[in-house]
Amino acid sequence: MTEIHNTYSAITRQIREEAALCLENGRIDPELYARYQVNRGLRDINGKGVLTGLTEISDIVSSVEKDGKSVPCEGELYYRGLNIRQLVDGFMSEDRFGFEEITYLLLFGKLPTAAELQASHQFCARCHSKSAQS
């Protein structure tokens, strides 16, 4: 049998570093499951549907507290604690999409520096080039 060496899926130093970044910024404290009564399945012991996860990746604000009551508001979406509307406004004011920065933010828990963004662009370009050749 012929051994196939696929550099496209090779685990490089950059992949190891970025995997460590994901682990560093994507951990949920196990105690939070008990504190917020979050089951890890789809139903509780009584067969009722349950909240199935906790995340620090996104948050949706759909109401505000006014006079002790929850009142619906214009929704706000946050990725990793950053207001998406503000991020998009910033990208639009610079006449660019910002897709790569948002992807980096979601994966690694922070917006990239210019050097990190450049390295990410180069990595994706290499991967795209290799996949186009196969």
State the average pLDDT for the chain: 81
- Give tens-digit pLDDT for 75-109: 888 999 999 999 999 999 998 889 999 999 999 99
Rounded mean pLDDT, 5-25: 80
Strand partners, 64: 71
Position 110, amino acid: K
- Which residues lie across from 59 on neighbouring strands? 78
**50 vs 10: which has the higher pLDDT:** 10
**Residue with structure tokens 């994901």?**
22
The span from the CA of 128 to the CA of 121, in Å, is: 10
pTM above 0.85, yes or no: no
The sign of the CA dihedral 108, 109, 112, 113 is negative
Residue of 107, 133, 132 whose CA lies nearest to 120: 107
pLDDT in tens, 25-41: 888 887 887 788 776 66
What proportion of the chain, given as a percentage, has pLDDT over 70?
80
Under 8 Å between Cβ of 18 and 11: no
pLDDT of residue 108: 93
pLDDT band at residue 117 under the 50/70/90 scheme: very high
Rounded to whole angstroms, the Cα distance separating 128 from 119 reads 14
Q: Report pLDDT for 1.
A: 44
